[in-house]
Amino acid sequence: MKRILLGAATGAAGLAIGLVLAPIPAQAGHTNTLVGAHLTGRAEVAANGAKGVVGDPNGRGEAYVFGVDGDPTTLCYILEVSRIAELDQAPGGGRMAHLHRGADGTNGPVEVNLAFPQDGQAADCLTEGEAGKGLDPGEVQLILGNPSAYYVNVHNSEYPSGAVRGQLYVD
């Protein structure tokens, strides 16, 4: 009997700890969806449809895209990239990042200009109509409403079509 009670108590304690340590849902108390992307060089798509790795085979990254509660015209992002060349250099000369419109496995047009992740990181909040950002009226809601139709792409001079890419998904 003691063994059964001890087992039940241990199980209940484990469940309680698991509930406390479980990740908080992405929308906990917020009205906007948190969107993510896992970036790799293998996710890059060749312009001519050729098979094989066309991005940096070592490149990795994560992106998080989200709106601001009560403001349907602002889109924020956090971008972290590693294991690609030129992260130690300033933007320009082929070093750039974008949010493109395009389904998984296809290339699409640039929709939003993101900051190049110098030193591996970039973050910003963009407002529709802001000069030079490419975020058109109504686009924030289009992106957050259908994230899988968009992808993040980070370019450098070695991989001008894209060093790493990741399709957006609801986290």
> CA-CA distance, 99 to 150, in Å (whole number)?
7
Residue 91 in domain: yes
Residue 18 in domain: no
Residue 77 in domain: yes
Which tops the pLDDT comparison, 2 or 95? 95
DSSP per-residue codes, 136-160: -TTHHHHHHHSGGGEEEEEE-SSST
Model confidence pLDDT, tens digit, residues 5-32: 444 444 444 433 343 333 334 444 567 7
Count structural domains, the chain.
1
Residue 109 in domain: yes
Residue 72 in domain: yes
Domain range for 89 is 26-170
Residue 124: give its domain's CATH number: 2.60.40
Residue 13 in domain: no
Residue 64 in domain: yes
Residue 1 in domain: no
Model confidence pLDDT, tens digit, residues 40-69: 999 999 988 777 889 999 999 999 999 998
